[in-house]
Structure 1
Amino acid sequence: MARYFFDTYDGSRLISDAEGIELESLDMARIEAQKALPDLARDALPDGDHKSFIVSVRDDAGQVVLRAALTLIVETAPDNRSA
């Protein structure tokens, strides 16, 4: 088993994972990163119309081995009503 560290970025702040978790493979780390993204988006709703959330996965050596991102875009439909 290998230890992976999950650093998160919500568009305004970076939270570095100092503890990490042991997982069987990089594929398992990918699944964990993908599962974390919706929670990140829910916890840090955008104050504008666009926000990106990123999870970077590092190995024991500190090398980024995987990066997963989720972009949330809010668009307002144009008003088609006549004045």
Structure 2
Amino acid sequence: MPRYFIDTSDGDRSILDEEGIDLADDAAARLSALDALPDMARDVIPDGDERRLSVSVRNAEGEVIYHATLTLAGHWERDDRARAAMPDGSV
């Protein structure tokens, strides 16, 4: 089975997969990358309302064969709710 490397970025830091994983084919590597995005989102949601998460799949030769991005864009509809949600009362 071919080896694939799934690199991730949460907007603040990037992690280069140095170990890789053996998967059946490119389609399985794509699914593995897409499966990682919701887990990444759960980890960063407490840090704010705007975040761009991405994954890239490299094959054994180091060629990027797939890339996906998940964008989180949230905002309060009323400023008073935003102030109440922030520990220091700022918006």
Q: Deviations over 1:6-61 (max 9, x none)?
A: 00000010001000001111100111011100000111226343111001100011
What is the TM-score with the length of structure 1 in the denominator? 0.87
Q: Which amino acid aligns with 2:8?
A: T
Aligned residues: 79
Alignment of 1:30-45 (within 5 A): 30-45=30-45
Aligned residues: CA RMSD: 1.4
Higher relative contact order structure (alpha carbons within 8 Å, sequence separation ≥ 6) = 1
Structure 1 or 2: more strand by fraction: 1
What is the TM-score with the length of structure 2 in the denominator? 0.80
- Structure 2 residues without counterparts, runs of 5 or longer: 80-91
- Structure 1 residues without counterparts, runs of 5 or longer: none
Identical amino acids, percent of aligned pairs: 51
Structure 1 or 2: more helix by fraction: 2
